[in-house]
Amino acid sequence: MNHEVMLSTGQVAERLGITARTVYRWEKAGRLHPVRLPTGQRRFSASEVDELLHVRSRAVPRCAIYARVSRGKQAEAGNLDRQRERLVAAVAERRYKLVATVTERASGLNEKRKGLRRLFHLAAADEIDVVLVEFKDRLARFGFAYVVEALAAHGVRVEVLDGPVATDATQELVQDMLAVVAVFAARLFGRRSQQFRHKVREAAKEVKSGA
């Protein structure tokens, strides 16, 4: 006599490559149908989980593309449009389904970027499977691995085209580093750092005009 193999929430999460929280969300959405043990714990049918895994593997990946430039000459030069066009072409080449195009003009150090938050919202809502970027620092100047891990927790992978670095990427990096210096100066000296921040802004202008 055959006995149905039942899986715990953790086992389901591991088999599907998602987090336990996502398992609960999929249960709420009706994608998974657990049974309750007398102890109140959930158990999921292994066959149902495997069927869901099979469906996901054969489905066309839903893709969001993300393009970013810092404020200034880089955006004026049309780099944002170039990124978007190249990413759209890559989606077609990989036969993904483009479901979201996210573009923004913001520093790679800005952790409150609206575009980045939108990617996380799409991932949390199970609306995307892939995030495609031209190169790593478009997604995050620092902490790229953490962003990848956070998206992976929702079953979303990040793919990088490994495109060439923009010709003015050095200028953007210098501007970002100056911004870091200004932030630390503000924390160390408070109001007395106003003059220092003014000097930092002037230095940033020189970098921009010299590009």
**pLDDT by residue (tens digit) across 158-167?**
999 985 555 4
Q: What CATH number has the domain bearing residue 101?
A: 3.40.50.1390
Domain range for 39 is: 6-58
Statement to judge: residues 32 and 74 lie in one domain = no
Q: pLDDT tens for residues 96-112?
A: 999 999 999 887 777 77
- Asked if the structure places residue 1 within a domain, the reply is no
128-145 average pLDDT score: 89
Statement to judge: residues 67 and 148 lie in one domain = yes
How many domains does the chain fold into? 3
Statement to judge: residues 68 and 95 lie in one domain = yes
Neighbours of 30 (CB within 10 A): 7
Statement to judge: residues 71 and 133 lie in one domain = yes
8-14 average pLDDT score: 92
Asked if 13 and 23 touch (Cβ cutoff 8 Å), the reply is yes
Q: What CATH number has the domain bearing residue 46?
A: 1.10.1660.10
Report the alpha-carbon distance of residue 194 to residue 143 in Å, rounded.
29
Report the alpha-carbon distance of residue 131 to residue 148 in Å, rounded.
9
